[in-house]
Amino acid sequence: MKCLLKVTPSRPRKKAQESPVKLPIFAKKVDRVAVYDFIVVGSGIAGLSFALRASRHGRVLVLTKQLSEAGSTHLAQGGIASVMDPADSMEGHIRDTLAAGAGLCRADRVKILVEQGPEAIRDLVSWGVRFTRANARIRAKGIPFDLAREGGHSNFRVVHAEDLTGREIQRALIEAVRLAPNITLRENALAIDLITAKHLKPGQRESGTKSVYGVYALDVSRNRVETHLGAATLLCTGGVGQAYAHTTNDSVSTGDGIAMAYRAGAAVEDMEFMQFHPTTFYNPGHPTYLISEALRGHGGVLRNHRGEAFMDKVHPLKSLAPRDITARAIDAEMKRTGRAHMFLDMTRCGSRADLRRHFPNIFRHCLEQGVDMSRQWIPVVPAAHFMCGGVKVDGNSAADLKNLYAVGETACTGVHGANRLASNSLLEGVVFSGRALDHVLATAPSRPDRNRFREWDSFRFKPAPETIIYSHALEAIRSTMWHYVGIVRSDFRLARAAEFLHVISRHIHADYWSFSMEPNLIELRNLTLCAELIVRSAQRRKESRGLHYNVDHPHMLKALRHTVLRASVTAKRTGRF
């Protein structure tokens, strides 16, 4: 298949009409360097949808820690929002998204997101996703899929696959990617850093705009660092939920893409806006289990231990209020009553058979924990869920470093503002990965010349004497972020968190430059940096807006601004961020 991207030859052409130099998909083992047209870091809905589209135009490398049963896409329950009902409207979806975003959404990008929604659904279906079909009566109205309603939505517009939508999407995309001839999948691969001008060999110079040329990645199974060069690099590594003690995120969500981009010199934006999902199953000592917002869309009511529907006094949408408001209200009610959790009441939302049919997996999980949701209230508590900020990108998902793109939770596209509307995240991944590819093809970047870049030198490092200390550091970070940078914040708590994280960061920095590559150390380095970026961003916002609530600045300012951070020249030179 002919590649549509320009190729920078590694040696002079003999004749003007000679075809470009063909570079292999796999490099020789002796130098561990390979060159591609597209490098994708991450294998969720954003990364795999990009890879499928890009494979028609060139060679694609997908680097992932784990391909199946990992990541946020796999765990998504509710669905993907899109206007599919003739009685619904694009304007309504746009209005709901802007309202949830508390003034910080970029309206032009929200319009793109919503208007390209139906096409995104069609693409997913063409790749083999099996969404739950509507019954005959609904199909007669021109609605092909069963539509749910979630918090903040004014209409039923959430397309889903029972209550395991993400798992079905991931299944279909993985199958499609495995069949695509132009895609190389590398599992057990952990990206370390982006390749930039500082990795050029002596005597080589970067011409023009600061660029990204690929990524260094640890092949965990072979315990070696490899050099992957590419004309365009897409970061879609998910969020940073593992920075918090209680999170709905998978263990792989350590902020790798955000941290790598920041270290390379890209700007990050609005990192203070960490969304806490209002309802996870309260079960201390066990993994966090999400109770989908679709249950409240089905009629579920949040209650305290007295049976009071406390959300009725908080917001006009009551238990279907946007997530920032609902999570904060639950937190306040827990503190007011001294209780460890609240309840979600589904006992008046249909028969037992009806609830089992609509929410088979959630129903089963609750039963396994001793709760029959048709007769008993579900104990719920908030947990860290989604990073609305991330790598600052434009409407084409392009970062401010040439040939670097970010999509999904790794990116700050501006569609979520200060608080994400439910089920817009999967939609964002499909829509903006397509826009990223269109931009790459329009700009036609050249493949890097492999002879200009240094390979990773790992021979000067020795193994760490102990690695258990990384687990201790992780526990300290997660506890600090949960207690000091959680749903409700204060200037004092943010300052204390910054002090704690600075100490941990110094130790991680020293270990990184002293010892050989260890997966836990790589992830901890990224997670620590992201935690610091969240705190710095939160300290800069002297107001309460959306997901960021500070008791010392409880009011929302009239002026709208985004929080943008960029690594200093000194930090990039020394590696201290």
Write out the two tokens for 188. Answer: 């057990």
Torsion sign across C-alpha atoms 103, 317, 137, 159 = positive
SS3 303: strand
Q: Is residue 70 pLDDT above 90, yes or no? A: no
Q: Which of 59, 167, 323, 328 is catalytic?
A: 323
pLDDT at 328: 93
Residue 340, strand partner residues: none
More confident residue, 409 or 460: 409
pLDDT at 13: 33
205 annotated active-site: no
Interval 138-153 mean pLDDT: 91
What digits encode the pLDDT tens for the residues 26-40?
Answer: 222 334 789 999 999
What digits encode the pLDDT tens for the residues 428-458?
Answer: 999 999 999 999 999 999 999 998 998 887 6
CA distance 560 to 542: 12
- The amino acid that residue 337 corresponds to is T
**HSE-up of residue 447 (Cα within 13 Å, Cβ side):** 28
Pick the CATH number of 27-273+388-455 from 3.90.330.10, 3.50.50.60, 3.40.50.720, 2.170.150.20: 3.50.50.60
CA distance 101 to 93: 12
Q: Which helix (H) or strand (E) holds 80?
A: strand 80-81
Interval 154-168 mean pLDDT: 93
Pick the CATH number of 468-574 from 3.40.250.10, 1.20.58.100, 1.10.10.60, 1.10.10.350: 1.20.58.100
Residue with tokens 């132009």: 182
Identify the architecture of domain 279-384 in CATH. Answer: Alpha-Beta Complex (3.90)
Closest listed residue to residue 331, CA positions, set 321, 320, 341: 341
CA distance 509 to 89: 51
Q: Using the 8-state DSSP alphabet, how is residue 451 labeled?
A: G
CA distance 205 to 201: 9
Closest listed residue to residue 428, CA positions, set 395, 400, 463: 395
CA distance 300 to 311: 12
Write out the two tokens for 404. Answer: 């670097």
Torsion sign across C-alpha atoms 364, 365, 370, 372 = negative
Q: Is residue 11 pLDDT above 60, yes or no? A: no
What digits encode the pLDDT tens for the residues 502-549?
Answer: 999 999 999 998 888 889 999 999 999 999 999 999 999 999 999 999
Write out the two tokens for 192. Answer: 């370390």
Q: Using the 8-state DSSP alphabet, how is residue 182 labeled?
A: T
- Angle, vertex CA 386, rays to CA 383 and CA 391, nearest 5: 145
pLDDT at 29: 34
CA distance 473 to 500: 11
Interval 34-61 mean pLDDT: 96
Residue with tokens 């249950």: 295
Q: Is residue 17 pLDDT above 60, yes or no? A: no
What digits encode the pLDDT tens for the residues 199-253?
Answer: 988 888 877 779 999 999 999 998 889 999 999 999 999 999 999 999 999 889 9
What digits encode the pLDDT tens for the residues 409-418?
Answer: 999 999 999 9
Map out the domains of the chain as residue ranges.
27-273+388-455, 279-384, 468-574
What digits encode the pLDDT tens for the residues 305-346?
Answer: 999 999 999 999 999 998 889 999 999 999 999 999 999 999
Q: Are 248 and 290 in contact (CB under 8 A)?
A: yes
Q: Find the range with the poorest average confidence among 67-76, 181-190, 368-377.
A: 67-76
Kindly report the average pLDDT of the chain as a whole number.
90
pLDDT at 93: 98
pLDDT at 466: 82
- Burial 546-560, CB ≥16 within 10 A → b, else e: bbbbbeebeeeeeee
Residue 233, strand partner residues: 39, 404
For 296, list phi and psi in degrees, rounded to 5: -70, -30
Q: Find the range with the poorest average confidence among 8-12, 91-95, 258-262, 447-451.
A: 8-12
Closest listed residue to residue 310, CA positions, set 332, 289, 290, 291: 332
CA distance 149 to 99: 16
Order across the sheet with 411-412: list the strands: 411-412, 390-392, 268-269, 564-565
Q: Are 101 and 416 in contact (CB under 8 A)?
A: yes
Write out the two tokens for 29. Answer: 């083992």
Closest listed residue to residue 424, CA positions, set 414, 439, 436, 437: 414
